[in-house]
Every structure is written in structure tokens, then in C-alpha cells.
Amino acid sequence: MAPTPGTVHLRAADTSVVVDCDGDLPVIRHWGADLGDSTGRAIATATERTIVHGGLDVVAPCSVLPQHADGWQGRPGLQGHRQGGRDWAPWFSATRIVRHEVGTAGEGGLIETESRDDAAGLVLRATIELAPHGALRTSLAVSNLASSRYLLSSLVVTLPVHTCATEVLSLDGRWVREFQLHRRPLATGALTAENRTGRTSHEHAPFVAACEAGTREWSGSVWAAHLAHGGNHSWFAEVLPDGRRYLQMGELLAAGEICLEPGETYATPTVVAAHSSRGFTPMSWALHRDLRNRAPRPPVRKVLVNTWEAVYFRHDFDVLCRLADAAAAAGCERFVLDDGWFGGRRDDTTSLGDWTVSTDAHPRGLQPLIDHVRSRGLDFGIWIEPEMVSEDSDTHRAHPEWVLGDRRYPMVRGRNQLVLDLDRPDAYAHVAGMLHRLLDDHDISFVKWDMNRVHVQATGAGGAAGGSRQAAAVARLMDELRSLHPAVEFEACASGGGRIDHDVLGRAVRAWTSDCIDPVERQMIQRGASFFVPNEVLGMHVGARTAHATGQTTTMAFRCATAMFGWMGVECNLLTIDDDEREVLVRAIDFHTRHRGLLHSGDHVRFDTDDPTAVAHGTYAPDRSEALVAWAQLGTSSRTLPPVWRLPDLVPDAVYDVRNVPLESVVKGSGRAVPTWIADGVRLTGAELAAVGLQPPSMWPGTALVVHLRRVD
């Protein structure tokens, strides 16, 4: 017998979630600070809202699926209808708990509920899970039990936030400038962002946070949500006239995209959320730990060299071999051959869809290059873009009907290419077969999976919108390749950071953060991405002296300091750097490999610098025995000296040996301008580092101070 409805209190990692299942639908009465041993049953009474003049005779609850039919005046959680417009405003009720689990040692837990609307012939299942590390995972599924089809327009997860949350933070941007932090007041009405690109997008990352005014990295209350989905999505934040606030996230569905036939079910992507009463950085830890617990984890995140910016489409065997030699000498561990190895691919106008080795660029095949790379102690990786097709390709000439689009209209191209409809079994089988043969026939350990154009009028074979099915087919293809080639590691790329989310990173071990490798821009791009994904899954590369994306010139040391805190790689042309640059690069790669146990498993931290020209961040060991932190000076400050750099959350009574990592001279001037603690080190307690901190020197723009802290007994 299923448990009867009631109030369920889930607790984990300083977070409480109180779910009231006594009404029509589950209502999250509290998601926030830990409530101790409270049952949470009195919260509904304590927060009861009274009837007001001019309003309805009911106060509709902010349930996980707010319903227009019961008086909710905000955005409904479900929108849809049957033929003729019937059943457009369902009213689910008769909620019952069908599953209730308590986490190990009482940490966290899960409930699953079922609610019905017999008049509309719909059943709703809601799953609410609080993970032991404090992440709240919520998803919904609606089933059509009637004898006619139901046209679903929208199904989104709704999470209430406290009325003190008066600001919204989002991650917006564009190509080569992703994950920019935007903060706006949430005072009245609604804020929203919609993504229709067919991927998670450069413009609107699937992340939104509501917070108290003045919330910083280490203070203030924040409620954040991320949609684990690699396709179209929307987020929505609203404050109602009565002051209640809530967040909504879900897949963005095109008109007619989801038609539920009798007996069919549609399930939302999971919304992964986190609360912190101590600021943005502790909030991020919960999201990072949730991904770490669910994502594939390679034994070692090997330092790689990628050939793209070194040679682009110019694949010359001797040059590539010399690049491999230089990469091995620098300490790299993997060689990734980027675009240009297949078909007639001498530029971006041809051959996508024909995944066979180019007889022009590689007349003896890839094996001689792979043998050379392997002889230098390097793994071999390769670039693919399986979702795309060039019109100048054997695949498109044979099967123009495989294009994801409406052939009655002109095709909109991007990067001279079209999208291949992988929901078609024949197109899927073609791509899967070619990629299987590629991986079967070659010693390939790493695949960079790219996606370089957005969806436009993504019409499937049946004439309906196909974006949702395409996203599912891409996930299915990646799963199939991983299953058949378990030793191969996959990287998610979409013109850089256009596909970074917890769903794709449940399949790919790495994400290419941005096509911009300029370290000045990358400092802010990487900082924004770290709000919901940990640094070790973010590809961070050492680019060219003069950045290809911005034309800005920086030192090798600054490029290395920017790249070493994530999954480090090299993309500059190792055959053209000078001896001084090579020496710095070798030292930096050696330092990274010696410390990547910390960098790839610790708690990633961000610091408030109170200076828009500076960025500070780093990684703490989980037991706080060690830390690596960096202060990056991006431009010329209006101050003669940077503000004091405080490092909270270390062990207060522990003593730390603080040492500069000398990648380059970052200090303006010389002699007396060099602070004693940088030259000789200093020992401070965790309490002193948190309350007083370190005084950075006056630094040149485009330099970074890297500091190693080690606990001493």
C-alpha cells in the first residue's frame, strides 16, 4: 500500500526541503536553510496567506506544477490542450506518495508523488530528491490516459524562493564571450530567457539564481537552478502581487512538438537546484558535487594539445609529427587532431557527413600519424561533428531528405552547413556506422564532439518541429558510442561553450568552454561557467601570444596561469613559440600535473575582489589541507594598490604556509616593490587569512599571481 499524503522533511548539507503533500499537488513549503529536527508541519500554518479584498476566495498554492484552474495567477506549470481546445486548464488532485526513500545516515532522501485529473485524462508524476550534498533534483512527467491525443505546449518545474530574494542572476553572452554574469532586480513582474538554438546556447545558459540584495561569493542567501538538458530551454522568474517569488525551468517546446498519443508520457529534464545561506561559492559546491557524483570520471585528465589554432585545415604529415614531438617535450599527454582530417575537408564548405579519412590530407590514412603520436607517449584524439552535413558531401548528394528542415522553404545555412536529422533511423544508422568504424579501425582515446550551427526551422521527417527529438537522438548516439567504445573519452563542444550542461556532462568527460582562448576574456568566461559546473570538466587551453579571437597580446605566463586551474590544454603553435615561452610552458604543465589531484577534486572557490579589473579564484582541498588560488589583473586599476584579498573557509586555527608560485614577474617595478610575503612566503592561520587576508602588490595588466597554501602542523 502506498503511503498516505503528509508533510515530508528532507535534510542534507545545511539544507532543508519541506514538501506538503496534503493538497492537490506537492507544495514545497520550505527550500532553504536547515530546520534541524523540525517536522515542518507547522510551516503551512505559519505562512498562511489571507484572502484580500478584490481577490479570489482562495489563495492558490505555489506547487511544483502551479495550476490556472485552482486560481493560480502566475505562469501555469503545464500548458496544452486536446482537439478543439478542450482540457486546456487541467486541475490535478488526489495526490498520493508512491515512493519515499530516506538517504543513507538520514542524509537527504526522495519522494515521488502521483496526481490525477480524471476529467482531462491526465496523470502527473513528480519526483523531488534532496541529494546528500545538498542539491535538489526535481522532475515531472505527464501521461495521457484518455483515448485522444493531447498537444503539450509546456511542462516546467516550479521552485518557490523566499520573499527576501529581490535580485536575479543569470549567465548570458554570445560566441567567444559566454557565461557573463548579469544581475537584475526582481521587484515586480517577471524576467525570462528563452533559447531556441537546439543546444544549450552561448546566449542564455540554462542557469538562473534568485538572491538577496547584496549577496556575494561568501555571504547572503541564494537559490539557484540549472536545467540538465542539451537542447532548447527557458527559465522564468516572477514576483506575484502578493510578494511570492518563484523560479521555473523546462524544455522549450515548439508549437505541436509534443503530441501525446493515448498511453504516452512526456518527462521533463531534471532541474538541479541548490541553496546557500553563505553566498554564491558554497551554492556552486552543491551543483559541482551533484555532477561529480553522476558524471563519468576519467582516471587522469590528461594535458592535451589541440591542432586547430596551430594548423587549422592545413594537415601536413611532417608538421603534425613535429607538433606531436614538441607537445611531448612540453609535457603534454594527448594529441587531438581537429577539423580537416576527412573527405575533401580543406575548408569549411565541404564533407561533413562523410566520416572517412581524407586521401588528400592523409594519403596513407591516419595510422602513420597515430603511430608517431603513440611513439612519443601521447594518446591520440580526433574531432567530429556528427550532427551536421555539408551540401558538398556524398551524404547530402545521396540523401538530401536527411536534412532537419522544411524543404518547402529556403534553407538557412550556418558555417556553410545544414543539420542532419538524427531522429531518422536511416540517417542515424549512417552516422553511427561511420563513427563506429572510425573508432574500431584506429587507436583513438578521445573524441571532440562539436556542433557548429544553431537550429533554424528544425522540421522533422513528419513535418512537425523536431528539436526535442533531435536532442534525444544526439544523447542516444553518444550513449551508443560510449557503450561500444568504453575506453574512449568524449568532449562536448558547440562552437565553444554552446553545449555545457549537466546532461551532456553525464556523458562527456569534458566541455570546451569557449572558442575564445584570450586569457583576459577567459578569466570571466571560466568564472561564469564555474557557477554550475566544476573547473575540472572545463577545457582551459594555452592559446597564441596574440589571441585569434580578440587580437589581444598576452604573456605565456598569464596564459598558463589562466589555463592551469581546469582541464589544461595547449592550442598555440608549439613550433613557433620562442625558448622563453617554451620554458614557462614546460614549468606550468609540470606544476599542473603535480597538483591536478587537488585541482580536479577540490572545492572550487571564487573571491570578491571589489575591483572590476581583477578576478580571484582557486581550489581548496576538501579537508582544507592545501589550496591553490590566483589573483588575475585584467586591466589597469583606478587604485594604486588592489584591495586586500581575504580567503575565507579555511580551518581557522590551522597554520598555512603561503608561497608565491613564480610563473613570471607580476609586480610593477622591482626591489622594494616586491612584497615580503611574495618573495619569502608567510605563515598565517586560517582565521587570519579570512579576517585580514593578503595584500596583492600593484600588478601589471595581463598578469596573474598564483599562490600555494599548505597546512603545516
Closest listed residue to residue 461, CA positions, set 396, 528, 400, 387? 400
**Residue 140, all three cell numbers:** 515531472
Partners of 513 in beta bridges:
none
Closest listed residue to residue 664, CA positions, set 532, 569, 568, 562? 562
Q: Is residue 468 part of a domain?
A: no
Give the CATH number for residue 37.
2.70.98.60
Q: Is residue 460 part of a domain?
A: no
Chosen domain end from 249, 269, 292: 292
Residues 125, 269 share a domain = yes
The whole-angstrom separation of Cα 164 and Cα 162 is: 5
**Residue 274 or 107, more confident:** 274
Residue 339 is given by DSSP the state S
Closest listed residue to residue 337, CA positions, set 349, 327, 351, 348? 327
Q: How confident is the model at residue 106 (pLDDT cuts 50, 70, 90)?
A: confident
Give the CATH number for residue 637.
2.60.40.1180
Closest listed residue to residue 418, CA positions, set 400, 436, 432? 400
* pLDDT for res 663: 87
379 catalytic? Reply is no
Q: Is residue 151 part of a domain?
A: yes
pLDDT tens digits for range 437-477: 999 999 999 999 999 999 999 999 999 999 999 999 999 99
- For residue 511, what are the CA distances in angstroms to 328, 506, 539, 581, 595? 23, 11, 6, 27, 21
Residues 324, 367 share a domain = yes
Residues 241, 124 share a domain = yes
Residues 363, 275 share a domain = no
**Which residues contact residue 318 at a Cβ distance below 8 angstroms, ignoring those fewer than 6 apart?**
none
Backbone angles phi, psi at 580, to 5 degrees: -65, -45
Amino acid letter, 154: S
Backbone angles phi, psi at 539, to 5 degrees: -65, 120
Share of the chain above pLDDT 90, in %: 94
Give percent helix, percent strand, percent coil of the chain, each to the nearest 5.
Answer: 20, 35, 45
Chosen domain end from 557, 582, 598: 598
Q: Is the pLDDT of residue 321 over 80?
A: yes
pLDDT tens digits for range 479-491: 999 999 999 999 9
Residues 485, 393 share a domain = yes
Q: List the alpha helices (DSSP H) in 164-304.
A: 280-294
pLDDT tens digits for range 591-623: 999 999 999 999 999 999 999 999 999 999 999
Q: How confident is the model at residue 103 (pLDDT cuts 50, 70, 90)?
A: confident
Q: Is residue 466 part of a domain?
A: no
Residues 647, 526 share a domain = no
DSSP E strand stretches across 536-647? 538-542, 567-570, 603-607, 614-620, 626-633
How many residues does the structure list for the chain? 713
Q: What is the DSSP string of 647-686?
A: --SS-TT-EEEEEEE-SS--BSSSGGGS-HHHHH-EEEEH
Backbone angles phi, psi at 3, to 5 degrees: -60, 150
Number of domains in the chain: 3
| Poorest-pLDDT segment among 332-336, 395-399, 675-679, 683-687 | 675-679
Q: How confident is the model at residue 151 (pLDDT cuts 50, 70, 90)?
A: very high
Residues 66, 49 share a domain = yes
Residues 621, 512 share a domain = no
3-state secondary structure of 367: helix
Give the CATH number for residue 497.
3.20.20.70
Residue 673 is given by DSSP the state G
Partners of 684 in beta bridges:
656
Amino acid letter, 415: R
Rg (CA), the chain: 27
* pLDDT for res 672: 58
Residue for grid cell 536534412: 403
As a whole number, mean pLDDT of residues 527-546 equals: 98
The neighbour count for residue 480, using CB atoms within 10 Å, is: 14
* pLDDT for res 3: 44
Q: Is the pLDDT of residue 105 over 80?
A: no
The neighbour count for residue 637, using CB atoms within 10 Å, is: 18
Q: Mapped to the 3 state alphabet, what secondary structure does 5-59 carry?
A: CCEEEEEECCEEEEEECCCCCCEEEEEEECCCCCCCCCHHHHCCCCCCCCCCCCC
Q: Is residue 48 part of a domain?
A: yes
pTM comes to 0.97
As a whole number, mean pLDDT of residues 638-650 equals: 94
Residues 241, 331 share a domain = no
Q: What's the distance, CA 50 to chain centroid?
A: 41
Q: Is the pLDDT of residue 544 over 60?
A: yes
Q: Is residue 483 part of a domain?
A: yes
Q: Which of 172, 339, 423, 450 is catalytic?
A: 450
Residues 365, 259 share a domain = no
Q: Which of 379, 501, 503, 515 is catalytic?
A: 515
**Residue 548, all three cell numbers:** 585569434
Closest listed residue to residue 380, CA positions, set 311, 447, 449, 321? 447
CB 521 within 8 A of CB 472: no
Chosen domain end from 580, 598, 616: 598
For 363, the domain range is 304-400+430-455+474-598
* pLDDT for res 333: 98
Q: How confident is the model at residue 343 (pLDDT cuts 50, 70, 90)?
A: very high
Residues 449, 325 share a domain = yes
Q: Is residue 298 part of a domain?
A: no
450 catalytic? Reply is yes
**Which residues contact residue 384 at a Cβ distance below 8 angstroms, ignoring those fewer than 6 apart?**
355, 435, 438, 447, 448, 449, 450
CB 706 within 8 A of CB 660: yes
The whole-angstrom separation of Cα 34 and Cα 11 is: 7
Residues 29, 141 share a domain = yes
* pLDDT for res 713: 81
CB 711 within 8 A of CB 682: no
Q: Is residue 421 part of a domain?
A: no
3-state secondary structure of 488: coil
CB 432 within 8 A of CB 473: no
